[in-house]
Amino acid sequence: MDTIYYYNITPNQDNWDLFYKVVFPIVTLVFGALLAFGLQGLSELLRLRKVKKYLIHSIEDLILAIEAQIKHLETFIAGIKGDNHDVPFLTIESGFHTRSIETVSRYDTFRIIVLKGVSNKNKKRKVLNNYNNAIEIIKVIEQHSKDEINALIKSDGQDKHLYNDYFWKLQNLINSKIKIYNERKSKERLIFTEQPGAEKIQKENELAEDILEVWNTYNNLSAGSKTIFQHEKFLVVPLTVLAKKFNDFELLGILPQMINLLNEFKQTRKSFTTRFEMYKDNLKKAKIYFEETVQILK
């Protein structure tokens, strides 16, 4: 007769088998996932902290560069406002660019500015918008400053070329008048009021003497003072007064065109001055926007 064995399976043994075979693997899997997620989150948090420090450092460096660039612009603007014959040199600060701060992605920037903390989300979004606007201001000014200076130099050169053409004509005409006057004077010809054309000759002599006075005053200026602006003050305007006084059509055929060119030259300088003044004002805004960003990040 076969022996029948009976196994007594208790409820406690049933529970342990279920725990080891079903519950424990699930718990281990969930715990592992949570641990991995936690470590990943911690790693990301540490990474964002480093990114934030880098961004703060980069923005602070850029703020210093902006301050220096504002001073460079002020010097440049004073130069083109003054009596400089040539376009002054505009220094571009070495750190005046956005390449460093743009290595931080827009997503990371959003996270470390707007998602930092739980309060003032609207204010932080506004700061982020201003921050992005400040970046665009720097990029535009960095590129357009070079383009504007090239355009100014080109315009200056064209105006001066046209002006010089008229100046050489004026110089030749003055030399001709002075030569005639000197020839008359060397011959010591006596002019009697009853002579035919005596009044005209006397008038020409008076004009020549006045022109000589103006011409000598201009020539006595130092070489560095003979800018296109000094031409107007010491040569063109005084000669125009004489030309009108003596009704000299030869001078009046040249001088008004020279005055028009000088006015165009000054107007061009003025328009470029206005543009660079605008750049300077925009840089001041960008500086404020970056300072606000640093405050939020800290």
What does the pLDDT look like over 36-94, one tens digit per residue? 566 565 667 788 889 999 999 999 999 999 999 999 999 999 988 877 778 888 888 88
Q: Is the Cβ–Cβ distance between 293 and 113 less than 8 Å?
A: yes
Q: Which of 235, 167, 176 is nearest to 208 (CA)?
A: 176
> Mean pLDDT, to the nearest integer, of 143-163?
87
Helix (H, G, I), strand (E, B) or coil at 253: coil
Decide if pLDDT at 97 tops 50.
yes
Decide if pLDDT at 193 tops 50.
no
What is the predicted pLDDT for the residue at 139?
A: 92
H or E element in which residue 187 lies:
helix 121-187
Maximum Cα interatomic distance, the chain, rounded to a whole number of Å? 177
Q: Which two tokens stand for residue 136?
A: 């665009």
| For the chain, percent of residues with pLDDT exceeding 90 | 40
- pLDDT mean across residues, the chain: 83
Confidence of residue 166 (pLDDT cuts 50, 70, 90): very high
Q: Which of 38, 62, 49, 54 is nearest to 116 (CA)?
A: 49
Confidence of residue 231 (pLDDT cuts 50, 70, 90): confident
Minimum mean pLDDT among 129-133, 225-229, 283-287: which range?
225-229
What is the predicted pLDDT for the residue at 242?
A: 93
pTM flag (> 0.75): yes
Q: Which of 199, 229, 234 is nearest to 213 (CA)?
A: 234
**Separation of first and last alpha carbons in the chain:** 88
Decide if pLDDT at 32 tops 90.
no
Q: Which amino acid does the sequence have at 208?
A: A
CA atoms within a 13 Å half-sphere pointing along the CA-CB vector of 287:
15
Residues whose CB is less than 8 angstroms from the CB of residue 229 and which lie 6 or more positions away in sequence, other chains included = 83, 85, 266
Q: Which two tokens stand for residue 43?
A: 């790693």
Spatial separation of the C-alpha atoms in residues 293 and 56, rounded to whole Å? 8
Q: Is the Cβ–Cβ distance between 242 and 214 less than 8 Å?
A: yes
Confidence of residue 245 (pLDDT cuts 50, 70, 90): very high
Residue-wise pLDDT for 123-134, tens only, equals: 889 999 999 999
CA distances, 53 to each of 47, 57, 95 (Å) = 10, 6, 18
